[in-house]
Every structure is written in structure tokens, then in C-alpha cells.
Amino acid sequence: MERREFLRRGALLAGGTLLSTSVAFAHADTHSSRFVLVILRGALDGLASVPPLADPDYAELRRELALHPAGEAGGALPLNGFFGLHPALGFLHDCYGARELVVLHALASPYRERSHFDGQDVLENGTPRPHALQTGWLNRALAAAPVRGAREAGVSVGQNVPLVMRGPASVTSWSPSKLVALDEETLARVSDLYAGDALLASRLADALAADALASGEGAEAAMTMPQEAAPGAKGKARYTDVVRAAAAFLRPEEGPKVAVFDTSGWDTHANEGSAQGQLAGRLAELDAGLSMLRQELGPVWKDTAVLLLTEFGRTAAINGTHGTDHGTATAAFLLGGAVAGGRVIVDWPGLSRRALYQGRDLAPTLDVRSVLKGILAEHLTVPSRALELEVFPDSAGARALRGLTRT
């Protein structure tokens, strides 16, 4: 039945392209724990997503984009009295209430410039510098974690593998396709042709393994669209369908245990909106996708931790075009049944002009690598030594933040 659903989803996915979203998976033999990393590319506005409503400087910096306090019409959703949650994040708010969401704030990677592309590179390569390594921290963590015997360490929904998942651990990619599979004889001949080409031979083997995982039994499944995804916005259906596919890979006992998605569209330079508008629409879409992820993961949600990260934040003050420009620290979210939630973890630096980083951005007080070390060590049982040496080189200053998940 699961396989059948999965195929249906595959058929649906084939209808759209995956230009704005991709998913990668990997095995990690860490009892039953699942880990999902969602990269929000484009720099999420942390001050809009998790507004510091009680900060005395917030309203003046955010002007017409400032969210109203909890309780007012269109107001933020209440968190802990000081912070609120953007009203489009209803599911996340429910998770907070159920103690399944940790909100992290004033967090940043070691990167201190404002290029999206270098910022994403640092976020993914796990070092303090852009382009210092051509592999990603999640892959290196998988390589260091106790790996089960399977040949395939992973699979990627999305044609290619994002940097965070590239590296020594064998990782593959999977994406839905309308293209017809080759007959066995032709496929065998192509494989023979790749015998002398290590890269293509391993990629083809990886792809076929992922394909087998994705199809399995039930190839006759009805190619119909799930009801909820049928009408309405095309982009939304596309994103939620990728989420469904990810869940279908993660759910089985014998499947991969780690997934990476990415989403884009967070670069809100102009007309960002407030309780409603451009960013609110993106957040609502993200929120709906996460809600669907929980639903689709079903019984394994209790073993799952989902981490949402972005490369950096945005300016504390709004710019001249009702938006925000590239900034520094931002918010992140950790949710799931395995998360010790219901908390906002922050060492709040304040928003006074003196407190702002370079007089313009929320100042970072928490290193993203501390969060990652804590999750990888406790949820995925990656040895600490490996975390310090291979996974996050030059990170001695970022000590693991413990207790984020229930172990």
C-alpha cells in the first residue's frame, strides 16, 4: 500500500518540474531515528518569521511590516510572551503547543558576509569559509555514523545532490520521471559501456537502486492525483508533492533515514508583506508542507527531527521598497516527535542600534554548528570525535547544544 501511494505521488511529481525544490536522502543506521534537513534558500527573514514583539525597537525598525501582537486581528501567534510566530505558521504553532517545536533565534553560520551563494556554501560545507571543502557536513556525518550494510547510503529526490549531501558516503538522487524505463537488454548494454568509467558506473548503479526503492511492488498502481493536491496553486502542489515523496522514502523500516529538501523564494527585497503578502504566502506553503510531512510520516513522526535552516537573515530595518536586504543572524526551527520542544532557545542581543551587527543586522549569538553538533550527536549518534574533526573542522568555539531531541 505504501508503495502504491508512492507511485501515485511519483506520477504526480512528473507533471511538474522540480526547479524550486529537491530532496536528498541517506541511510544512517541509528536505530529508528529519522532526520530531515530543509534548506530555505534565499535568506529567510527571521524577524518576520519569529517577531520579537516585546523588543522596544522592533516596531520602529519594521514600521508598516511589523506584526501586531498576539490576540489582535492578523496578529502574531503567541510563543513565550516576548516572541511571537508569524500568523501563517499555524502548524508550527501547534507543534510548539505540543512541545514538538524548538525555535532557535539570533542564530548564524560562521559566514559574516552577505552573498547568498557563499552563505549557502558555508551553511552546507560545514567549515568557516566558503568553498573550503567540496563536500557537505551531512554526508560526512553519515560517513562517520555507524552505517548499515546496504550498498546505498542514500537517494535524492531532485536530479542532483546538494552540497550538504555530497561526499564520501554513497548518496544517490531520485526524481520523478515521465520518461520510460529502458528495456533490460539495452540497460545492460549501457551498464557495460560504463564499465570503464568509474563516475558514470557508480551514478547509474545508484540511480537504479533508488529507482528500485521507489517502485518496488505495485507497479500497476493507479496513477491518480491525491485529492488535496489536485486543485489550486501549481507551485504549492509541486512543493507538497516533493514532501510526500520524501515521507514515502523515510517511512519504511528498511528505507533511508535522512532526507534533505530545499525550497527557494525567500529573498524578499521588495514588497515583503506582513501578516499577509509575499512572505506570508511562502511561509504558509512551507507550513502546509511540514504539516503534510507529519501526516505522511505517520507512525515514524515520533522518531523524526526536522530542521529548517537558511543561509543568513535580513536587515533589521525594512529597506526603501517595503522589503529587507541581506543580513546576518536569523531564526531556525527544529520540529518533530523526537524533538524536546515547546521552547525558544535564544540569547537575545536586542535590536537597539548599538546591539545590531554593523549597525544593521540582528547580531548572532548562537552558532548553527552548535545546533547541528547536538542533533547529530544525540539524534543520529554520530561520534563526537568525528563531529569535531571531520564533520565541522575548525569549530572548537561552537560547542554542541545538548538536549534538543528526546533520546
Partner 1 sequence: MPASIASAIAANRFGLGARPGELALIGGESHEWLRAQLRAPAPALSAPGLRSSAQILAQALELRRESRAQRKVQSAASPPAPENAVQRLPQYLRPIYTLEVTARLQHAVSTERPFLERLTQFWANHFAISIDKLFIAGLAGSFEREAIRPHVLGHFSDMLLAVETHPAMQLYLDNYLSVGPHSPAAQRRVRREKPRIGINENLAREILELHTLGVGGGYTQQDVTTFAEVISGWSIAGEGGRSGGGDPGRFLFRAELHEPGSKVMLGRRYTQEGFAQGVAVLGDLAAHPATAHFVATKLTRHFIADEPPPQAVARLADAFTRTGGHLPSVYAALVDAREAWLEPLAKYKSPADYVVSCFRGLSVPVEADRVALTPFEVLGQRTWQPGSPAGWPDRSADWDGASALLKRIRWADAVGARLGNRRDALQLAPQLLGANLSAATGEAVMHASSAAQALTLLLASPEFMRR
Where along the sequence are the contacts to partner 1 (CB under 8 A)? 17-20, 41-42, 63-64, 113-118, 130, 134, 155-161, 166, 172-175, 177-182, 185-186, 189-190, 192-197, 199-200, 203-204, 206-208, 210-211, 264-265, 267, 269-270, 319-321, 323, 325-326, 358, 360
Question: Cα 387–389–394 angle (5° rounding)?
Answer: 100
Smallest gap from residue 195 Cβ to partner 1 (A): 8
SS3 of residue 201 by DSSP: helix
Smallest gap from residue 205 Cβ to partner 1 (A): 8
Q: In this structure, are residues 243 and 259 in contact, taking their beta carbons and an 8 Å threshold?
A: no
Smallest gap from residue 152 Cβ to partner 1 (A): 10
Q: Which run of H or E residues covers position 323?
A: none
Q: 49 vs 139, which CB is nearer to partner 1?
A: 139
Q: 54 vs 182, which CB is nearer to partner 1?
A: 182
Smallest gap from residue 129 Cβ to partner 1 (A): 11
List strand residue ranges (DSSP E) for 245-385, in order.
Answer: 258-264, 304-310, 330-335, 343-345, 366-367
Q: 33 vs 127, which CB is nearer to partner 1?
A: 127
CA distance linking residue 406 with residue 340, whole number of Å: 6
List strand residue ranges (DSSP E) for 287-384, in order.
Answer: 304-310, 330-335, 343-345, 366-367
Smallest gap from residue 65 Cβ to partner 1 (A): 10
Smallest gap from residue 99 Cβ to partner 1 (A): 36
Q: 33 vs 330, which CB is nearer to partner 1?
A: 330
Strand partners, 35: 258, 305
Q: 4 vs 360, which CB is nearer to partner 1?
A: 360
At 294, the amino acid letter reads: R
Q: In this structure, are residues 174 and 211 in contact, taking their beta carbons and an 8 Å threshold?
A: yes
Q: 96 vs 357, which CB is nearer to partner 1?
A: 357
As given in the structure block, the three cell numbers for residue 43 are: 535568506
State the DSSP code for 88: T
